[in-house]
Structure 1
Amino acid sequence: RAKEKLVMTGLDRYLDKKLERFAEVLRVEGQIPFTILGSADSYLDWMLMSLSGKYTISQIQREEGADTGNLIVKELSVSDLVGGEMERQAEKKLTKDALLSLDTVRVYDQEFAADLRAAFEYRYPHEADIRLHTKLTVSELKKQGQFADEEESEFLPTIPSFLKEDGKEEHPGGAFRGTAYHRALELLDFGKVRTRKDLQNALEGFRRDQRMDEESLSLLSEETLMGFLDSSLGKRLAAADVSGRLKKEQQFVVGIPARDMDAGDSDELILIQGIMDAYMEEEEGLVLVDYKTDHIRPGEEKVLVDRYQMQMNYYERALEQMTGKKIKEKIIYSMALEKEITLG
Structure 2
Amino acid sequence: MGRRILEMIKGRELSTGPEFMVWDKELAQYRPVTYRDIVILLRATTGRANTFLEELRAMGIPAYAELGTGYFAAVEVETFLSLLKIIDNPRQDVPLAGVLRSPIVGLKAEELAEIRLCNCDGDFYDAVVSAARADLEELSRKLTGFLAKLDRWRSQARRGPLADLIWMLYRETGYYDYVGGMVGGTQRQANLRVLYHRAKQFEATSFRGLFRFLRFVERLQDAGSDLGSARTLGESEDVVRVMSIHKSKGLEFPVVFVAGLGKKFNLMDLNKELLMHKKLGLGPQVINLATRVSYPSLPKLLLQQQIKKESVAEEMRVLYVALTRAREKLILVGAVRDLEKSLEKWCSSAAQAGWPLPDTELTAARTYLDWLCPAIARHRNGQALLQLARSEAQPLSEVAADASTWQTAFINLHQVQNPPRDNRQQVAGLLEKVKALAPLGDLGQAAEIERRLNWRYPLAELTAKPAKAAVTEIKRRFDELARLEDEAVPYRPKITGRPRFLQQDKGLTPAERGSAIHLVMQHIPLEKIPAEQDIHRLLEHLVAREILLPEQAAVIDPAQITGFFASPLGQRLLNAGKVQRELPFSLALPAVEVYPELSRAGDGEVVLVQGVIDCLADEGDGLLLIDYKSDAVHPGQASPAERYRGQINLYTRAVQNILGRPVKERVIYLFDSGETLYFGA
Length-normalised TM-score, structure 1: 0.60
Contact persistence 1:192–1:198 (CA under 8 A): no
User: Aligned partners of 1:114 and 1:43: how far apart in 2?
Assistant: 48
Asked if residue 100 in structure 1 is aligned to residue 439 in structure 2, the reply is: yes
The letter for the 2-side match of 1:100 is: P
Q: Give the drift of 1:332.
A: 0.5
1:177 to 502, 509, 513: 513
TM-fit CA distance, 1:269: 0.4
Quote the Cα distance in structure 1 between the aligned partners of 2:636 and 2:622: 30
Shift of 1:331: 0.9
Q: Secondary structure at the match of 2:513?
A: helix
Identify if the C-alpha distance between structure 1 residues 94 and 238 changes in structure 2 by more than 3 Å, giving closer, same or farther: same
Alignment of 1:190-269 (within 5 A): 190-240=526-576, 243=577, 245-263=578-596, 264-265=598-599, 266-267=602-603, 268-269=605-606
3-state secondary structure, aligned to 2:639: helix
1:22-75 CA-to-partner distances (Å, cap 9, x unmatched) read: xxxxxxxxxxxxxxxxx9611479xxxxxxxxxxxxxxxxxxxxxxx77xxxxx
Q: Secondary structure at the match of 1:283?
A: coil
**Number of matched pairs:** 251
- 3-state SS of the aligned residue for 1:320? helix
Which one-letter code corresponds to 1:337 in the other structure? S
1:42 to 123, 134, 152: 123
Residue 270 of structure 1 is matched in structure 2 by 607
Conservation of the 8 A alpha-carbon contact between 2:526 and 2:574:
yes
Any conservation in 1 of the 2:582–2:613 contact (CA below 8 Å)? Answer: yes
Q: Give 1:282 shift.
A: 2.1
Structure 1's 239 and 4: CA in aligned 2 closer, same or farther, altered over 3 A? farther
Change in 2 beyond 3 A, CA 1:220/1:100: same
Q: Match for 2:585: what amino acid?
A: F
Distance 1:284 1:127, change over 3 A: farther
Is 1:337 the counterpart of 2:676? The answer is no
Aligned-partner residue type, residue 135 of structure 1: K
What is the rounded CA distance, in whole Å, between the counterparts of 1:322 and 1:195 in structure 2? Answer: 36
SS at 2:632's partner residue?
A: coil
Give per-residue Cα distances to partners, 1:157-193, cap 9 Å, x unaligned.
xxxxxxxxxxxx9733322221221111111112244
Q: Is the 8 A contact 1:132 1:270 kept in 2?
A: no
Larger helix proportion, structure 1 or 2?
2
Q: 1:1-344 maps to which residues of 2 (within 5 A)?
A: 3-5=77-79, 6=82, 8-9=96-97, 11=112, 41-43=122-124, 92-95=431-434, 97=436, 100=439, 102=441, 125-141=458-474, 148=482, 171-240=507-576, 243=577, 245-263=578-596, 264-265=598-599, 266-267=602-603, 268-296=605-633, 303-343=639-679
Classify the secondary structure of the residue corresponding to 1:314: helix
More deviation, 201-210/279-288 = 201-210
Q: Deviations over 1:213-271 (max 9, x none)?
A: 2211110111111100111111111222xx3x111111111111111123423231011
Q: Could you tell me which residue of structure 2 aligns to residue 81 of structure 1? A: none
Q: Unaligned stretches of 5+ in structure 2?
A: 1-75, 83-94, 99-111, 127-220, 223-426, 492-504
Q: Which 5+ residue runs of structure 1 have no aligned equivalent?
A: 16-38, 46-68, 71-87, 152-168
Give the CA deviation at 1:122: 6.4
Aligned to 1:58: none
2:464 aligned partner, one-letter code: R
Contact 1:320 1:327 in 2 (8 A): yes
Cα distance in structure 2, aligned partners of 1:121 and 1:211: 57
Q: Cα distance 1:44–1:222, how it changes in 2: closer, same or farther (>3 A)?
A: closer
Which whole-Å CA distance do the structure 2 matches of 1:135 and 1:315 have between them? Answer: 16
Partner Cα separation in structure 1 for residue 460 and residue 506 of structure 2: 52
Question: TM-score normalised to the size of structure 2?
Answer: 0.32
DSSP 3-state at the match of 1:284: coil
Deviates more, 1:212-221 or 1:291-300: 291-300
Determine the C-alpha separation between the residues in 2 that align with 1:212 and 1:101. Answer: 75
Contact 1:247–1:278 (CA<8 Å) still a contact in 2? yes
Q: SS of the residue aligned with 1:226? A: helix
Relative distance call for 1:188 and 1:146 in structure 2 (3 A) is same
Between 115-124 and 253-262, report the one with greater CA deviation. Answer: 115-124
Higher relative contact order (CA 8 A, sep 6+): 1
Letter in 2 for 1:279: L
Paired AA for residue 647 in structure 2 = Q
Q: Residues 279 and 288 of structure 1 are in contact (CA less than 8 Å); yes or no, is this contact kept in structure 2? A: yes
The amino acid that maps onto 1:9 is A
The whole-number CA distance in structure 1 between the counterparts of 2:521 and 2:612 is 14
Could you tell which deviates more after superposition, 256-265 or 332-341? 256-265
Residues 138, 272 of structure 1: 8 Å contact kept: yes
Provide closer, same or farther for how the CA distance between residues 288 and 298 of structure 1 changes in structure 2, counting only shifts above 3 A.
farther
Cα distance change, pair 89–116 in 1 and its aligned pair in 2 (3 A): closer
